[in-house]
């Protein structure tokens, strides 16, 4: 069984290759992303393995089908980059719905603590033997209200972490978790009351630009915004304006609306063409990490194992339970 593996990083090879060899799967690893120009690399493969910034639109789906590809194995939970409706009847699709909710939730809290306690600034100072405390004053999380948008597995783990810090938790979800003990409110109330807002929901037409120029005015002044979910939940330009206006107190971003051509790559020797991203990174109250919330040894192992099991189940004519389109 041959599988074309796109947008490959070193850690992908390390985690996937052993599972592949043990199960008779040969992964053809490509550094390039999957798109209309690179789809032909999947020639002779039963399946394609793709990630969050690959492009799987109608044209790519048609070309994969022409090449004889039968299965698209997404090695992630999100699939907003896949034209699901067009794929029906043409290409079977599976995903990894959960790999380590702890990895993402813990990273969200790490970003929050780093931001409000100025850990990143202190680290830079002390490496220059500057031990001044000027400008490093933070605030307690205890007693603050955190609004959690999305209460799936990751959101609920984040809620547990916040409760451990003594925070008051309110949440919004279109489909509330029954018997969870979570205090659900509507999104307007969550925006109005929260000192901290953390996003843990999928990107859909309804959640697109939940933070926008219209909604920023309803947020509590000085709110800290955390996004470890999908970049387009937040209008990046509106976020920048809200920070410049001193209405948003801080932003902790592991994802970015236009991250596709930037994240996961090294641009340290280049000029970034995205002015909004460059401005956000330059802000003293903004922390950006490059979509690394999932990146733990446990999560990578779970992603590889689940993806391989999805492919094996498909090849046997069985269902893995992780089907999007079948």
Instruction: Output the pLDDT for position 235.
Output: 98
Active site residue 230: yes
Distance CA 86, CA 69 (A): 15
Active site residue 205: no
**Hey, where are the domains in the chain?**
2-99+296-325, 101-288
Instruction: Output the pLDDT for position 265.
Output: 86
User: Is the confidence at residue 86, as pLDDT, over 90?
Assistant: yes
Distance CA 65, CA 89 (A): 11
Distance CA 6, CA 12 (A): 10
Distance CA 201, CA 174 (A): 10
Instruction: Output the pLDDT for position 98.
Output: 85
Distance CA 145, CA 223 (A): 10
pLDDT > 90: percent of the chain = 91
Residues 245-267, mean pLDDT to the nearest whole number = 93
Instruction: Output the pLDDT for position 325.
Output: 80
- Can you give the pTM of this predicted structure? 0.89
User: Is the confidence at residue 326, as pLDDT, over 80?
Assistant: no
- For the record, the structure tokens of 266 come out as 């090294």
Residues 97-110, mean pLDDT to the nearest whole number = 94
Residue from 291, 298, 305, 318 carrying the catalytic annotation:
291
Residue from 259, 265, 270, 323 carrying the catalytic annotation:
259
**Dihedral sign of CA atoms 114, 116, 122, 125 in order:** positive
- For the record, the structure tokens of 93 come out as 């699709």
- 261 pLDDT band, cuts 50/70/90, is confident
Q: 2-99+296-325: which CATH architecture? A: 3-Layer(aba) Sandwich (3.40)
Instruction: Output the pLDDT for position 160.
Output: 98
Distance CA 70, CA 66 (A): 10
* Per-residue pLDDT tens digits for 206-215: 999 999 999 9
Residue from 63, 75, 200, 230 carrying the catalytic annotation:
230
Q: CA neighbours within 13 Å on the CB side: how many for 40?
A: 1
Instruction: Output the pLDDT for position 307.
Output: 97
User: Is the confidence at residue 292, as pLDDT, over 90?
Assistant: yes
The beta-strand segments (E) located in 113-259 are 145-149, 168-172, 196-199, 223-227, 248-253
Distance CA 19, CA 302 (A): 11
In sequence order, what are the beta bridge partners of 172?
149
- For the record, the structure tokens of 179 come out as 């018997």
Residues 265-277, mean pLDDT to the nearest whole number = 91
- 78 pLDDT band, cuts 50/70/90, is confident
Distance CA 141, CA 147 (A): 13
Q: 101-288: which CATH architecture? A: 3-Layer(aba) Sandwich (3.40)
- 136 pLDDT band, cuts 50/70/90, is very high
């Amino acid at each position: 069984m041959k599988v074309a593996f796109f947008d490959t990083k070193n850690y992908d090879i390390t985690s996937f290759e052993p599972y592949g060899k043990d199960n008779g799967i040969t992964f053809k690893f490509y550094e390039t992303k999957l798109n209309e120009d690179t789809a032909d690399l999947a020639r002779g493969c039963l399946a394609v393995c793709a990630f969050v910034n690959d492009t799987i639109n109608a044209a790519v789906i048609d070309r994969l089908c022409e090449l004889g590809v039968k299965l698209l194995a997404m090695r992630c939970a999100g699939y907003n980059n896949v034209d699901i409706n067009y794929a029906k009847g043409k290409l079977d699709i599976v995903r990894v719905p959960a790999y380590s909710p702890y990895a993402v939730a813990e990273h969200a809290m790490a970003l929050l603590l780093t931001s409000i306690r100025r850990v990143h600034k202190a680290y830079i100072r002390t490496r220059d033997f500057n031990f001044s405390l000027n400008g490093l004053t933070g605030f307690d999380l205890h007693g603050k209200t955190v609004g959690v948008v999305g209460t799936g597995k990751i959101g609920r783990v984040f809620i547990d972490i916040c409760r451990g810090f003594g925070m008051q938790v309110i949440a919004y979800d279109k489909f509330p978790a029954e018997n969870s003990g979570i205090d659900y409110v509507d999104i307007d109330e969550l925006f109005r009351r929260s000192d901290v807002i953390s996003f843990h929901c999928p990107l859909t037409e309804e959640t697109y630009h939940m933070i926008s120029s219209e909604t920023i005015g309803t947020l509590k002044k000085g709110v800290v915004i955390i996004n470890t979910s999908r970049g387009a939940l937040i209008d990046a330009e509106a976020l920048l304006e809200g920070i410049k206006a001193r209405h948003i107190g801080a932003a902790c971003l592991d994802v970015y609306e236009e991250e596709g051509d930037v994240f996961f790559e090294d641009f340290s020797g280049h000029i970034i063409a995205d002015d909004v991203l460059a401005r956000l990174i330059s802000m003293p109250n903004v922390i950006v990490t490059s979509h690394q919330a999932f990146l733990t040894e446990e999560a990578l192992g779970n992603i590889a194992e689940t993806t391989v099991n999805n492919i094996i189940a498909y090849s046997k004519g069985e269902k893995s339970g992780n089907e999007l389109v079948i």
